[in-house]
Structure 1
Amino acid sequence: MFSIKNIGLRNVEVADTKLCLIDGENGRLLYRGYDIFDLAKNSTFEETSYLLLYGDLPTKEQLDEFDERLRRARALPREVIDAMLHRSKNARPMDVLISSVSMLADYDPMDESKPANLERSINLIAKLPTIVATWNAIRSSKPIPEPNPDLSHAANTLYMLLDSMPDREISRMFDVCLILHAEHSFNASTFAARQVASTRAHMYACICAAIAALSGDLHGGANVAVMKNLLEIGDESKVEDWVNARLDAGEKIMGLGHAVYKTDDPRAKILREMSRRLAARTGSKWYSITSRMEQVAKEEVRRRRGVEIYANVDLYSASVYYSMGIPIDLYTCIFAIARISGWCAHVIEEKFAEAQPKPVLYRPAATYVGRYCGPLGCEYVPMQKRSDVGSKGGDR
């Protein structure tokens, strides 16, 4: 017998937060009280990161100082690069990201004050793009890129990844992508980071846990699956047959549906328009295929199951990144490059929560549904007396 009570901790509130509000019924997303549409239209990733870390929008002087600190912190220790040079070129990018972040702890004196954790956060935000771009170059046997201090965070990330100077429009689009992915309350990776933070582990350990959680296909890997599906479809005329075949087989269509939103993910609305603009600019077919896939899937799920499904952040981010020339297997790393701001802010909130002076160790309960032989437990049977039937029974 299997209990589904609170499965996946759905709708179980585990902590207070001032960082993010998701209104799933109405499709609203707020960072520190600011609507995602306002931030995407008016802010930058640097300013949004400052907001998440410090709680307020910065003055010009505060933002200039924050931006300068980010630019100064982009370079990696030589030992981290050397470690990457010794990795198999077949290593998964997210695995390399985890190991590289863990090494950064070796160069930190580990003062656990709040100011030190804020400085640590700046260091991580600045270095994650350099790690990803360095690994992309190493595995491709290309020269290791140097960060460009004259470029914004978004433009520098694209410059290092693509080995070319991005134009202003593409840089701004990518900047918006980073804003949209910077924070999303207690998703799987953020929860992992906060859970580790509750043990009083240091920031780097918390972020490694978050990256590991993000690496899963059901979390950060979803837009990778979307792009692979688009490539498999290949042409708008084949969308309907492909969607019906997937649904007939009982398979999910990645990029549609969400655990929280009961309407369109607000980030998907922004990315949908971005994908359309990129298609108009480049003449690519990926927006039209994605749009048709969304339409057919919605209609078919409504007809078959009588329920509505909606686009999530992954559906259109796939074609956006592909149109920008970003390698498909780096999409989840791009997610991490954006979400690092939210992760760090959550770790700091967990470590320095106003409600209590110290972190409260996360320790959820579970419903035991395994073997039960009475109040004293099961009798241990010596090996020579166990029957074949008995050895195959029980909980496996």
Structure 2
Amino acid sequence: MDTRNIGLRNIEVADTKISSIDGENGKLIYRGYDILDLANHSTYEETAYLLLFGDLPLTQQLDEFNAKLTESRRIPDSILKNMKNKPATAHPMDVLQSSILELADYDINRADDGKTANIERAISLIAKIPTIVAAWDRIRNKLEPVDPLSDNSHAHNFLYMLRGEHPKHEVSKIFDISLILHAEHSFNASTFAAREIASTRASIYASIGGAVGALSGELHGGANIQVMKMLLEIDDIANVEDWVAKRIEEGKRVMGMGHAVYRTTDPRSEVLSTLSRAISKEKESKWFDMTEKIEAVTRKIMLQTKKIHIYPNVDLYSASLYYSLGIPMDLNTPIFAISRIAGWNAHIIEEKFAEAAPKPALYRPKAVYVGRYCGPMGCEYINVLYRKPQNP
């Protein structure tokens, strides 16, 4: 029996001061603060500051941070021009990744890899990623990009650039809370990718580009798209029970249920459920009620048939929330990146500039070779003219 821990599950690879997950008790902590307290009382900007600098800001510090964010929202015209030359079928995550890498070309202090310079880059990236995402959605729909606002919140500004009109305060607040919930989650796949790239002393742009690539996969950032596809396939609340039962009977996953770390309810899911309920009620949408029933039916069947307690993860209710807000499905993952950029940046800076031992080292995990083996001297090379078919 192979007892190795495939996928590095539960393997400790580094120390971090940024966040902590208590999977047994459903707790998520950002720099010592419970995610539920931050969702109830903070803003995305304040949370991003906390993740980057380690402490909640004083009033003057937050004002200065907000000013830097608003001043950095614009992206170079040449990047917008490059977007306009892309095919409209280009995936938003691919456009986002390539545009982030292009930003490196416009960094006049590119040679300075010090901590202060990287924090300034981090703030700029937090500000610019929403602009890239919103601009691409408009360009592919044959609309002119909307210039970012010189005021208003991070959440409000993105929704304004996306739609070309100011969102209601309540909608901006719901979106702001969603950004807080997605801002950081320890050593998930994309964060680990960012840190691994940063460990080579590559630039923050290369590290964030790699993180975006990791996030694009359906097992990571693309999972809530799969949840929404599931909801659209089921279509009606009356179909939920039969659909879920058949899915489980066939040994397939019910998307949005279960998590690699949490053994109880994902705390982010609790908040997103409340937000989805509120927006669905306002929009008279069916999606929240369907999602709630999918959760209940899945938990009931899994407990009865497999004696397993299963709980919703962050993707289950975020899918119906974004859909009810009128956000295109394929923007779900880029929006994830708009939020998670704060956590990624914090981890890259921690990886590059850790102050305490052990110092960061180049990541180099060991693989177990299970391929062809011909003996201690290796396989004999035979000229192509004389080769015979080999056993697979």
Q: 1:241: Cα distance to partner?
A: 1.2
Q: 1:356: Cα distance to partner?
A: 4.9
Q: Which residue of 1 aligns with 2:62?
A: 63
Q: 1:219: Cα distance to partner?
A: 0.1
Q: Which residue of 2 aligns with 1:280?
A: 281
CA deviations over 1:116-167 (Å, ceiling 9, x no partner):
0000000000000000000001000012111011211000011111222111
Structure 1 range deviating more: 50-59 or 141-150? 141-150
Say if 2:312 is the partner of 1:306: no
Cα distance in 1 for residues equivalent to 2:358 and 2:258: 39
Q: 1:349: Cα distance to partner?
A: 0.2
Give SS of 1:21's match. strand
Q: Which residue of 2 aligns with 1:95?
A: 94
Q: 1:357: Cα distance to partner?
A: 9.0
- TM-score normalized with structure 2 length: 0.97
Q: 1:95: Cα distance to partner?
A: 0.1
Cα distance in 1 for residues equivalent to 2:165 and 2:326: 11
Cα distance in 2 for residues equivalent to 1:14 and 1:150: 41
Matched letter for residue 304 of structure 2: R
Q: Which residue of 1 aligns with 2:193?
A: 192
Q: Which residue of 2 aligns with 1:365?
A: 366
Give SS of 2:350's match. helix
Q: Which residue of 2 aligns with 1:385?
A: 386
Cα distance in 1 for residues equivalent to 2:320 and 2:173: 16
Say if 2:261 is the partner of 1:260: yes
Matched letter for residue 272 of structure 2: L
Cα distance in 1 for residues equivalent to 2:121 and 2:234: 44
Q: Which residue of 2 aligns with 1:350?
A: 351
Q: Judge conservation of contact 1:162–1:326 (CA < 8 Å) in 2.
A: no
Matched letter for residue 296 of structure 1: V
Q: 1:276: Cα distance to partner?
A: 1.1
**Residue pairs, 1:1-396, within 5 angstroms:** 3=2, 5-108=4-107, 109-110=109-110, 111-356=112-357, 359-388=360-389, 390=390, 392-393=391-392
Cα distance in 2 for residues equivalent to 1:235 and 1:175: 29
Cα distance in 1 for residues equivalent to 2:326 and 2:63: 30
Cα distance in 1 for residues equivalent to 2:222 and 2:287: 19
Q: 1:310: Cα distance to partner?
A: 0.6
CA deviations over 1:302-335 (Å, ceiling 9, x no partner):
2222211110000000011111111111000000
CA deviations over 1:230-281 (Å, ceiling 9, x no partner):
1111110000111122222222111001000000000000001111111222
Cα distance in 2 for residues equivalent to 1:75 and 1:383: 58
Give the number of equivalent residue pairs: 390
Q: 1:386: Cα distance to partner?
A: 2.4
Matched letter for residue 48 of structure 2: S
* Sequence identity percentage: 58
Cα distance in 1 for residues equivalent to 2:386 and 2:328: 58
Aligned-CA RMSD value: 1.2
Give SS of 1:179's match. helix
Q: Judge conservation of contact 1:3–1:369 (CA < 8 Å) in 2.
A: no
Structure 1 range deviating more: 173-182 or 301-310? 301-310
Rate the CA distance shift 1:163–1:4 in 2: closer, same or farther, 3 A.
Answer: farther
Over 6 Å off, 4+ runs: none
Matched letter for residue 135 of structure 1: W
Matched letter for residue 114 of structure 2: S
Cα distance in 2 for residues equivalent to 1:81 and 1:325: 24
- TM-score normalized with structure 1 length: 0.96
Matched letter for residue 336 of structure 2: F
Give SS of 1:29's match. strand
CA deviations over 1:175-206 (Å, ceiling 9, x no partner):
00000000000000000000000000000000
CA deviations over 1:19-41 (Å, ceiling 9, x no partner):
00000000000000000000000
5+ long unaligned stretches in structure 1? none
Matched letter for residue 231 of structure 1: L
Q: 1:102: Cα distance to partner?
A: 0.3
Matched letter for residue 229 of structure 2: K
CA deviations over 1:28-80 (Å, ceiling 9, x no partner):
00000000000000100000000000000000000000001000000010111
Matched letter for residue 71 of structure 1: T
Give SS of 1:257's match. coil
Q: 1:378: Cα distance to partner?
A: 1.9
Give SS of 1:370's match. coil
Q: Judge conservation of contact 1:20–1:31 (CA < 8 Å) in 2.
A: yes
Give SS of 1:161's match. helix
Cα distance in 1 for residues equivalent to 2:91 and 2:387: 44
Cα distance in 2 for residues equivalent to 1:103 and 1:163: 25
Give SS of 1:320's match. helix
Cα distance in 1 for residues equivalent to 2:161 and 2:250: 41
Cα distance in 2 for residues equivalent to 1:162 and 1:289: 27
